[in-house]
Amino acid sequence: MSEVGFVFSLSRLWHVAGGQVILILAGLALIFVDIWLSTKHKANEGTIMGWLTIFALMATLGHLVFREWSLHDIVFMGVFSAEKFSVFVSCIVLMAGILASLMSIGYLRNNGLARGEYFILLIFAVYGTIALVQSVDLLMMFIALEVMSLAIYILAAFLKGDQKSQEGALKYFLLGSFGSAFFLFGLALLFGLTGSVNLTVLAKTLSVGIFEQPAVLVALGMIMAGLFFKMALVPFHMWTPDVYEGSPAVITGFMATAVKAGAFGVFVKLLFVTFTPILSLSGQPEFFTTVNLASLGAYWKPVLWWLALLTMFFGNLIAVSQENVKRMLAYSSVAHAGYMALGILAANAEGRMGVLFYLFSYTLMNLGAFGVLYILDGKERGAQTLEDYRGLGFKYPTLSFLMSLFLVAMAGLPPTAGFIGKFYVFSAAIKEGYLLLAALGVLTSVIGAYYYLRVIYMMYMKDAVREITPGPVAAPTVIALVITALGIIYFGILPEGLARIATIAQQSLAFVF
């Protein structure tokens, strides 16, 4: 049990949160490596740092996956948990981190910005996201959320001479702090009501009767608002377009995938462990009373219903009128958040599995699209408008084909993983009786198909109006693009394996104690 687990032991720390330890040590070591590199090997600084980062992230991934087989502890000091759900989401985050680092090597070279700080911040951003996903303690969630956000704010502002990057980062920082403050207020209310910040203890204490107090609803609302901000659900999405357009392209891809995965993962964990009766399924007698928590669903479900609808509609409708492809992808990522919210709303096993599958496949296609985008761009903001994409299909056939593949996947057409993800989420929602919402959701994805396919139309059916100069294609980026493209097609044709792992992962939520 979590209360008695407050004994510090290094071996248990290594078992449960070993991935985080590796990341912190790697981040600290890279600071010194970078100092050495910048005096001795200035020319290759970006490349060497990039590969070292990839190595560290791979080691973390290996540790997490390997530990899952020989796991005998789940919760460490009532703060971190390593059940399969957290590990699954952590793997998505690490995958996004690895792909982003691979692409960053080429991106930084194209922009003449090969600086070691970039990769150090990227490692700490991944660290913060994993700590966020693994925590089962509201206070630790807040601190990890801040580690993640702070690293991302700085990465968003990484193009120092660029006004849009600076503007976007400042907006993100101000609005992000506001969102975090909401989360913190919710946390304080819950702590004041129950005297604990641990998710399972909270569930137990709330279910005894406190959950009927209006203050609990206020706290839940505030925590949800704080997380919705990171997930970019409408009406908390205002920062998204400016930040996504301003940030370095690869960082935008990382933000849209890893940060979203982290926020969704922690929201699912928080919502289902503390505010729904999932723990009553665990077989532990002390959690039997948590069945009561089902009555809270009457409050959060309508809210999520409307938010999912608004997010799907606004994201897709506004994306239609965008001329800048990067900005269009920003609105599309808002729309995708809406589909994932649908899976959470369904609140059944298949819905949670759908969300996990969706996050996984979305990470592949979104990072792939941003990878192609930065190459076509040449230098940041070189060629991002729809006009620039005219007639690219015949001049750069491979890049155009890859872009088309990623866009088709985002539009949710078979035989890509994007289709399967949408299928799982919608079918889960229909099973729970949200027929109207699912129908409207399918309608919005038709709107989505219009603006995704318009880019493909521009590339293949129109003649070029101006010459664009794509940057050189770096070898690591090729690796990343091949992985993402193959992944999208593989999981589009054979989704059962991943779906089975995701199903087991979401079941493990009932055993976080």
Partner 1 sequence: MDFYFWLFATMAVCAGIFTIAARDPLPSALGLLTVFIACAALYLHLHAPLIAIFQVTIYAGAILVLVVFVIMLLTSPDERLSLLQANMSYRIMGVVLGACIIGLLAAGTKGLINIVGSKALPDGFGSPARFGDLFYRNYLLHFEVASVLLLVALIGGIYLAKKNL
Residues that bind partner 1 in the complex, under the rule CB under 8 A: 6, 8, 24, 31, 76-80, 115, 117, 120-121, 124, 127-128, 131, 137, 139-140, 143-144, 146-147, 150-151, 153-154, 157-158, 160, 192
Spatial contact of 506 and 349, defined as CB atoms under 8 Å apart: yes
**Nearer Cβ to partner 1 (173/272):** 173
Q: Closest CB to partner 1 among 121 and 255?
A: 121
Scan for tokens 């101000």, then name that residue.
174
The nearest distance, CB 377 to partner 1, in angstroms, is 23
Q: Which is nearer to partner 1, 196 or 290 (CB)?
A: 196
The letter for the amino acid at 429 is: A
Which amino acid is residue 264, in one-letter code? Answer: F
Three-state DSSP state, 321 = coil
Q: Which amino acid is at 378?
A: G
CA distance 409 to 316: 15
Give the torsion through C-alpha atoms of 205, 211, 217, 221, to 10 deg.
40
Strand partners, 75: 81
Nearer to partner 1, 72 or 160 (CB): 160
CB nearer to partner 1: pick between 124 and 228: 124
Contact 359, 264 (CB under 8 A): yes
- Of the two residues 35 and 475, which places its CB atom closer to partner 1 in the complex? 35
* Residue (122 or 488) nearer to partner 1, CB: 122
Instruction: Please give the DSSP secondary-structure letter assigned to residue 389.
Output: G
CB of residue 7 to partner 1, shortest distance in Å: 9
Give the residue with the Cβ less far from partner 1, 122 or 455: 122
How many C-beta atoms surround the C-beta of residue 41 within 10 A? 11
What does the alpha-carbon distance between residue 15 and residue 317 come to, in Å, rounded to a whole number? 46
Shortest Cβ 390–partner 1 spacing (Å): 37
Which letter does DSSP use for residue 45 in this model?
Answer: H
Beta carbon nearer to partner 1, 237 or 269: 269
- Both tokens assigned to 336: 């995708």
For residue 457, the tally of other CB atoms under 10 A from its CB is 15
The rounded distance, in Å, linking the Cα atoms of 390 and 455 is: 8
CB 421 within 8 Å of CB 357:
yes
Whole-number minimum distance, CB 77 to partner 1, in Å? 6
Q: Minimum CB separation from partner 1 for residue 144, in Å?
A: 6
Q: Report phi then psi at 72, rounded to 5.
A: -120, -10
CB neighbour burial string for 382-408, b if at least 16 within 10 angstroms, e if fewer? bbbbbebbbbbbeebeebbbbbbbbbb
Closest to partner 1 by CB, 209 or 497:
209
Closest contact distance (angstroms) between CB of 143 and partner 1 is 5
CB of 160 to partner 1, least distance (A): 7
Beta strands in 2-79 (DSSP E): 75-76
| In the complex, least distance from residue 121 CB atom to partner 1, rounded to whole angstroms | 6
State in angstroms the smallest separation of the CB of 147 from partner 1.
5
Segment (H or E) for 281: none
Distance, C-alpha 117 to centroid of its chain: 22
Over its C-alpha atoms, the chain yields an Rg (Å, rounded) of: 22
Cβ closer to partner 1: 151 or 223? 151
> Residues 6 or more apart from 219 whose CB is under 8 A from it?
185, 186, 187, 189, 190, 193
Q: Which is nearer to partner 1, 78 or 338 (CB)?
A: 78
Taking the complex as a whole, how short is the minimal distance between the CB of residue 224 and partner 1, in angstroms?
22
Look up residue 148 and give its two tokens. 């993640």
DSSP tag of 257 = I
Cβ nearer to partner 1, comparing 24 with 501: 24
- Rounded CA-CA distance 280/273 in Å is 10
Shortest distance in whole angstroms from residue 478 CB to partner 1: 29
Q: Rounded to whole angstroms, how far apart are CA atoms 392 and 401?
A: 10
Which residues have C-beta within 8 Å of that of residue 350, sequence separation ≥ 6?
A: 424, 427, 428, 431
Helix (H) or strand (E) holding 294: none
Least distance to partner 1 from the beta carbon of 154, Å? 3
Q: Rounded to the nearest whole angstrom, what is the least distance from the CB of residue 150 to partner 1 in the complex? A: 5
